[in-house]
Amino acid sequence: MKKHICPWYVGYLLANPLRRLFQNPKNILRPFIKEGMTILEVGPGMGFFSLPLAKFVGETGRVVCVDLQEKMIKSLRRRADKAGLLTRIETRLSTETSLQIDDLREKVDFALAFAVVHEVSDPKKLFTQIFNSLKREGMLLVSEPTGHVTKGEFDTMLSIAQSAGLKILDTLNIARSHSVTLSKISDF
């Protein structure tokens, strides 16, 4: 699998409201999110999922958004501020080797990695960092675009996630994507 980082300017296309017609954040994420949760979103881009997540967690929850690209983070912050959700969203700039989330060890209820694993040079390290951030009963949703990632490549990603300690819970039906939920433990 070839590493491919989404150019920052494509973030505008990915944040387009028309995308909700086939990848609606409410339909995809609402079943997993409760008010007061701490959410980790890896590679949020300009916030297509971040803003709805911030609404779902309510005033007592928070969404920690981690991205490698500063322009994505700046745009996400502007959009969150305009929507009145900036107090619920914390943004962090990651590096090539670290999500910068060591302080979140066992504090995350739900993590989202949507169309981002194929952009990472070391998926094992990514999954390990997410695993470490999850609470004992925490869950991760991984979704990868079928246009960039073959089924075989996605299966390889899942094997890597499992080697980091995550267990596959379920396969999800999300348009134009290979998608699963994983957990830190297998006996929910």
Which pLDDT does position 71 carry in this prediction? 92
Q: Which of 18-27, 30-39, 74-83, 145-154 has the lowest mean pLDDT?
A: 18-27
Domain that holds residue 39: 26-183
- The Cα–Cα gap between 121 and 103 comes to 23
- Evaluate whether residue 153 is within a structural domain: yes
pLDDT of 181 > 90? The answer is: yes
pLDDT of 58 > 70? The answer is: yes
Which pLDDT does position 57 carry in this prediction? 99
- Evaluate whether residue 8 is within a structural domain: no
DSSP of the chain: ----PPPGGGHHHHT-GGGGGTS-HHHHHGGG--TT-EEEEES-TTTTTHHHHHHHH-TT-EEEEEES-HHHHHHHHHHHHHTT-GGGEEEEE--SS--S-GGGTTTEEEEEEES-GGG-S-HHHHHHHHHHHEEEEEEEEEEEETTT--HHHHHHHHHHHHHTT-EEEEEE--TTEEEEEEESSS--
pLDDT of 12 > 60? The answer is: no
pLDDT tens for 74-87 read 999 999 999 999 99
pLDDT mean over 63-76 = 95
Which pLDDT does position 188 carry in this prediction? 46
- Mean pLDDT over the full length of the chain: 91
- Evaluate whether residue 95 is within a structural domain: yes
CATH number of the domain where residue 74 is located: 3.40.50.150
Which pLDDT does position 2 carry in this prediction? 46
- Evaluate whether residue 17 is within a structural domain: no
- Evaluate whether residue 136 is within a structural domain: yes
Which pLDDT does position 185 carry in this prediction? 74
pLDDT mean over 88-114 = 97
Number of domains in the chain: 1
- Evaluate whether residue 10 is within a structural domain: no
pLDDT tens for 32-47 read 999 999 999 999 998 9
pLDDT mean over 88-111 = 97
- Evaluate whether residue 144 is within a structural domain: yes
- Evaluate whether residue 41 is within a structural domain: yes
